[in-house]
């Protein structure tokens, strides 16, 4: 019997989530359509339109964002993504952002170039830091732990299928169907009533804390298509009357080679949700927690290039691939003809992520800055995951040292 490979599971999972999210957030479908139009214009007008990835890759390319409450939930989702050939890469501490968000994050993604080319689906995954005293006092921490400890985000059957896929390098067609269905359903917006008082208490501290700890399930927060011209996309969405956040996050537009990642977003319309009131009655209401985002990707910067970007900005960069390579500012390999081929940036930017989180907050929340934050780092996250947490630079370095692309 034929086996459905992790690569196929990943491509199917990305498509299935895209269908789900499109049915839940219609503006997402508009964003995907406009992205495809913009990509068609770029393909028709630029000879080097595919220098940062084939049009097939870019058209299918999505990143999702999810938010979890406990280390156990994070370890479970790592098994589900592992089944799809997606591994944790990078550590992001969003508590260092302004406004501070009480989460630490990683991104699950394929790590080899061939897998990225086949389908680069990645998911920015955040974990609430319930014991950070700047946000949650001891009593609220205990209540949060109690609430989160009682919920089950991922059914046992889904986790068993995920483990089987990882152990056997894939699933039978029938198991693959079941896996995709269960994995997609785990990220659907739940019709379960939200406890109004509990949600409001958390929301006063952080809307992200309320989105995570105020409800008994998780959901896809956003699903982001990739465009080849984000300025063109921004203009077209604005023309259609969709209000975008006021700027594009990441490097500004320049004539230089595109580097890192540029992103922009719009706030989703209020979504209807049901609430359970203090007297036990159920009432209709709405929440605005999910939004639309789009991104454009450029060449990955080396640690030296990243340092230059963080301290001096993009205008300090040389204007050609040759110079970027010669000064060891960005990652390239040589193709068979000896020409430089960019290694695409496959990760996220903490400042942009903070801006994306912030664009979607109803308030800055509250924080007790007289308290110390709880220490969290990559080693801690790796312990929670129970599997290697990859360092993005190590992956880019390895790719460059392997050499030529064919
Ligand atoms: C994640 C925000 C970060 C990005 O693209 O930088 C992010 C979230 O809102 O959960 O998705
Ligand atoms: Ni995002």
The pLDDT of residue 187: 98
Tell me if 126 CB under 6 Å of ligand 1. yes
Q: Whose CA is nearest to atom 6 of ligand 1?
A: 353
Run means of pLDDT, 10 residues per run, the chain, 406 residues: 94 97 91 94 94 93 97 98 98 92 97 95 98 96 97 98 98 98 97 94 94 96 95 90 82 93 85 93 90 94 97 95 98 92 96 82 83 93 97 96 70
Query: Which of 351, 357, 362 is the pocket-test mutation for ligand 1 (most atoms within 8 Å of CB)?
Result: 357
260 backbone φψ class: left, alpha, beta (φ>0; ψ -120 to 50): left
| Six-digit token string for 189 | 């917006």
| Domains of the chain with bracketed CATH | 6-297+350-395 (3.10.180.80), 299-343 (no CATH)
- Please compute, for residue 290, the number of CA atoms within 13 A of its CA located in the half-sphere on the CB side: 25
In this predicted structure, what is the pLDDT of residue 391?
98
Q: How far is the CA of 224 from the centre of ligand 2 (A)?
A: 6
DSSP-derived secondary structure for 312-375: H-GGGS-SSHHHHHHTT-B-EEEBTTS-EEEPBP-S--HHHHHHHHHHT-SS-----TTSPPPP
pLDDT of residue 385: 97
Give the number of the atom of ligand 1 that is nearest the alpha carbon of residue 353: 6
Q: What is the pLDDT of residue 402?
A: 85
Q: How far apart are CA 107 and CA 251, in angstroms?
A: 20
Per-residue confidence (pLDDT) for residue 243, from 0 to 100: 79
Distance (angstroms) between ligand 2 centre and the Cα of 378 equals 20
CA 224, 263, 99, 105 torsion: positive or negative? positive
Pocket-testing residue among 77, 348, 353, 355, ligand 1, by greatest number of atoms within 8 A of Cβ = 353
291 lines ligand 1 (CB under 6 A): no
- How many angstroms does the Cα of residue 124 sit away from the middle of ligand 1? 6
Q: How far is the CA of 212 from the centre of ligand 2 (A)?
A: 16
What gap in Å lies between CA 116 and CA 7, rounded to an integer?
A: 9
Model pLDDT, residue 144: 98
Beta-carbon-side half-sphere exposure of residue 195 (alpha carbons within 13 Å): 13
Q: State the distance from the centre of ligand 2 to the C-alpha of 186, rounded, in angstroms.
A: 19
What is the model's pLDDT at position 405? 59
160 alpha carbon – ligand 2 mean position (Å) = 29
């Amino acid at each position: 019997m034929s086996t459905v490979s992790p690569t196929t599971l990943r491509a199917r999972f990305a498509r299935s989530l895209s269908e789900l999210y499109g049915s839940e957030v219609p503006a997402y479908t508009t964003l995907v359509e406009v992205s495809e139009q913009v990509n068609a214009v770029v393909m028709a007008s630029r000879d080097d339109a595919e220098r940062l990835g084939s049009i097939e890759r870019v058209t299918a390319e999505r990143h999702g964002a999810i938010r979890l409450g406990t280390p156990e939930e994070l370890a479970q989702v790592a098994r589900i993504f592992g089944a799809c050939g997606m591994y944790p890469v990078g550590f992001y501490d969003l508590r260092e952002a302004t406004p501070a968000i009480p989460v630490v994050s990683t991104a699950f993604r394929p790590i080899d170039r061939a897998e990225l080319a086949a389908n680069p689906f990645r998911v920015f995954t955040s974990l609430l830091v319930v014991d950070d005293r700047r946000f949650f006092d001891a009593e609220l921490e205990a209540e949060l732990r109690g609430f989160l400890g009682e919920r089950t985000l991922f059914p046992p059957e889904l986790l068993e299928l995920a483990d089987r896929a990882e152990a056997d390098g894939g699933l039978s067609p029938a198991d693959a169907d079941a896996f995709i269905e269960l994995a997609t359903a785990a990220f659907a917006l739940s019709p379960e009533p939200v406890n109004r008082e509990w949600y409001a208490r958390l929301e006063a501290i952080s809307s992200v804390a309320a989105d995570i700890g105020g409800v008994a399930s998780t959901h896809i927060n956003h699903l982001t298509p990739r465009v080849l011209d984000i300025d063109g996309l921004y203009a077209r969405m604005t023309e259609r009357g969709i209000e975008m956040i006021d700027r594009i996050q990441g490097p500004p537009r320049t004539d230089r080679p595109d580097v890192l990642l540029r992103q922009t977003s719009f706030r989703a319309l209020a979504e209807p949700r049901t609430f359970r009131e203090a007297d036990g009655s159920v009432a209709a209401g709405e929440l605005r927690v999910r939004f639309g985002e789009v991104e454009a990707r450029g060449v990955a910067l080396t640690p030296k290039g990243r340092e230059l970007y963080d301290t001096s900005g993009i205008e300090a960069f040389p204007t050609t691939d040759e110079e970027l390579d010669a000064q060891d500012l960005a990652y390239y390999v040589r193709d068979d003809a000896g020409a430089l081929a960019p290694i695409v940036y496959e990760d996220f930017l903490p400042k942009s992520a903070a801006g994306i989180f912030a664009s979607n907050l109803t308030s800055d929340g509250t924080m007790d800055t007289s308290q110390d934050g709880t220490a969290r780092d990559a080693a801690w996250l790796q312990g929670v995951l129970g599997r290697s947490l990859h360092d993005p630079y190590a992956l880019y370095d390895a790719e460059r040292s392997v050499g030529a692309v064919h």
